[in-house]
Amino acid sequence: MRILFAATALLSLLLLAGCAARPVQPETGIDWDRRADLLAGESAWHAHGRIAFKAGKDGGSGSMSWKQAGEDARITLSGPFGAGAYEIAWDDERIVVTSKKGEQVAAYTGRDAADRFLEAQLGWSFPARSIRYWLLGVADPEFTSARRFDDDGWLAGIEQNGW
């Protein structure tokens, strides 16, 4: 009798578990493809923020200001309290880095100028031309990409060119 009662109780629990409602994931209501197309088409924008880096035992933090106007960008980077401030002027064919004293620190020309500059500074390659899109939270339209979404349907990340 106890076995029959236990079996009936177990079967009842399994049936009830099968009827349990799954939590509904909220819809964001955002058309992510349309959003990406609109943002990627923005030709003029401005962003301010904090930056940080870590490379082995070395690291640092600072401030960044990025002004984009078409293919031209002006980026100002500075450490705490404005220390070590640099301005980067970047267009389709060149990149010029000047110190806060106005001294030219580096200059590269050619379509891959920014990539070569970053590789010389960091010691590893980085797809510099894609940064302007990534800062807007969209993929560079020149390359394939994959989007990741969180459990609530919000964009959690973009993977592109190994980044």
Q: What is the pTM of this model?
A: 0.71
Question: What number is the average pLDDT over the span 153-157?
Answer: 90
Which of 7-11, 55-59, 120-124, 154-158 ranks highest by mean pLDDT? 154-158
State the pLDDT confidence band at 27, using cuts at 50, 70 and 90: low
State the pLDDT confidence band at 55, using cuts at 50, 70 and 90: confident
pLDDT greater than 60 at residue 11: no
Residue range 32-53+61-159, CATH number: 2.50.20.10
Question: What number is the average pLDDT over the span 45-73?
Answer: 90
Distances (CA, A) of 163 to 34, 64, 142: 23, 21, 15
Distances (CA, A) of 52 to 61, 116, 157: 4, 21, 19
pLDDT at residue 19 in the model: 46
Kindly state the helix (H) or strand (E) to which residue 12 belongs, with its residue range.
helix 2-19
Q: Which residue has the higher pLDDT, 26 or 15?
A: 26
State the pLDDT confidence band at 45, using cuts at 50, 70 and 90: very high
